[in-house]
Structure 1
Amino acid sequence: MNNPTLQVSDLTKTYNHGKPNEVRVLQGASLSVAPGEVVALVAPSGAGKSTLLHIAGLLDTPDSGAVRIAGQDMSHLPDRRRTAVRRATVGFIYQFHHLLPEFTALENIVLPQLANGASQKAAEARALALLDRVGIAERASHRPAALSGGEQQRVAFCRALANEPTLLLADEPTGNLDPDTSDRVFGALMALVRDTGLAAVIATHNLELAARMDRQLRLTGGVLAPL
């Protein structure tokens, strides 16, 4: 694979080292994701998929192994630099939307852009364009409590892409939705990803959704293998 956006190599991670309840979560996990590629990460609860995503997204550090984003080794960067890289290049989506309840849909997408140095006008224009892409531009002025679950998650998708990341990491992004809503919302997510050409790793229990992605991997025994 040429010039992967994300490359993780031989990651290990153990919690409670040396204790009776020691848990070896990752035991040599490796993964490369190319620009424009969407990879499904399939794993049961407790298998370590969230740990893998957090390490890949620079929210956590491995015991050993390497993480490279756009070819740059992130393993030994100081915390401030890791935070800057994460803010500029990585978008996260979780099962629960985590929108700020006191702000509108538009404002939830504008705020991370302002924190990254964008002007108010540019941030609002991008937020509206993203909301339009996922079909809810008319809901821009509504607060999360006035949105349906599917609409809330679409706003969360837009927020994750607000700063134009090159890497998207999603942890069960439709896991909190009913099957019909999940299917529609996942379609909106895939359209966003395809439009932007970013690399994406999407964790899901849903094998039908996984089959719609470019490649499927299973995390088991702390390593990754084709599904």
Structure 2
Amino acid sequence: MNDVSLRLSGLSKTYLAGTPGEVQVLRGADLELRAGETVALVAPSGAGKSTLLHIAGLLDTPDTGTVEIGGQDMTGKGDRRRTATRRSDVGFVYQFHHLLPEFTALENITLPQLANGVTEREARARAQDLLGRVGVANRADHRPAAMSGGEQQRVAFCRALANKPRVLLADEPTGNLDPATSDQVFAALVDLVSGTGLSALIATHNMELAARMDRMLRLDGGMLIED
């Protein structure tokens, strides 16, 4: 597929950090993420990976540059439009699962769909399907506290994909897991992404996992360089 799901052009971002003053995290970063591809984002801690993901996911705004999602330029759009686009077109996964503790796995995946106007019947059916695809269908009625770390993160993947987004943004999604569980969870993520046309940008310190993705981008000096 050649469709561009996410395009970042000339992104710059500077933060005020006391002494010595300003810290420029991004310096003209460019990226094209095509439908159906999984791209690794690697960089040392503090290099700006999270900032880049937050800007790409419309949680933050750049000082300069543009963000296009599905061909739509989101530069200067109001909060309501950005929120609607983020809810329908972007899925997020973090190092910690951030599941709602008082709800079951099934409910955690159903709720975002209900907020997006899907009927409860359709939402529950999709939630069950996603849980089955990552091998945790038997945990549908369990709350997060009753699941292992790997199971919790698989449910978090399902929740991120509940509304059929164009783009999945993941920030160290296996960073809190042991190596064996990390490998299993990553394989589940790849299975979810493959064949759907979804694009995934995954920040990771795990070079073995990064090497298994379609491409690898390195954030160096505020710019993205393809390895």
Whether these two folds match at TM > 0.5 is yes
Whichever residue aligns with residue 142 of structure 2, its letter is H
Whichever residue aligns with residue 163 of structure 1, its letter is N
* Residue 22 (structure 1) shift: 1.3
* Preserved contact between residue 36 and residue 195 of structure 2 (Cα < 8 Å): no
Matched with 2:178 is 178
Matched with 1:44 is 44
* Residue 3 (structure 1) shift: 3.2
C-alpha distance in 1, partners of 2:35/2:14?
30
Deviations 1:178-219 (A, max 9, x none): 000000000000000003220110000001000110000100
Q: TM-score when scaled to structure 1? A: 0.97
C-alpha distance in 2, partners of 1:2/1:65?
23
The yes-or-no answer on 1:106 pairing with 2:106 is: yes
The yes-or-no answer on 1:12 pairing with 2:2 is: no
The yes-or-no answer on 1:83 pairing with 2:83 is: yes
Gaps of 5+ in 2: none
Whichever residue aligns with residue 144 of structure 2, its letter is P
Q: Runs of 4 or more off by more than 4 Å in structure 1?
A: none
Between Structure 1 and Structure 2, how many residues are aligned?
227
C-alpha distance in 1, partners of 2:115/2:105?
17
Deviations 1:31-66 (A, max 9, x none): 001000111000111000000000001000000001
Taking only the aligned residue pairs, the percentage that are identical comes to: 72
Matches within 5 A, 1:1-227: 2-16=2-16, 20-227=20-227
* Preserved contact between residue 30 and residue 223 of structure 2 (Cα < 8 Å): yes
* Preserved contact between residue 2 and residue 35 of structure 2 (Cα < 8 Å): no
Q: TM-score when scaled to structure 2? A: 0.97
Secondary structure of 1:121's aligned partner: helix
Whichever residue aligns with residue 184 of structure 2, its letter is R
Gaps of 5+ in 1: none
C-alpha distance in 2, partners of 1:197/1:69?
14
The 3 A distance-change label for structure 1 pair 151 and 10 is same
Secondary structure of 1:224's aligned partner: strand
Whichever residue aligns with residue 34 of structure 1, its letter is R
Whichever residue aligns with residue 121 of structure 1, its letter is R
Deviations 1:141-191 (A, max 9, x none): 000000000000000000000000010000000000000000000000000
Secondary structure of 1:132's aligned partner: helix
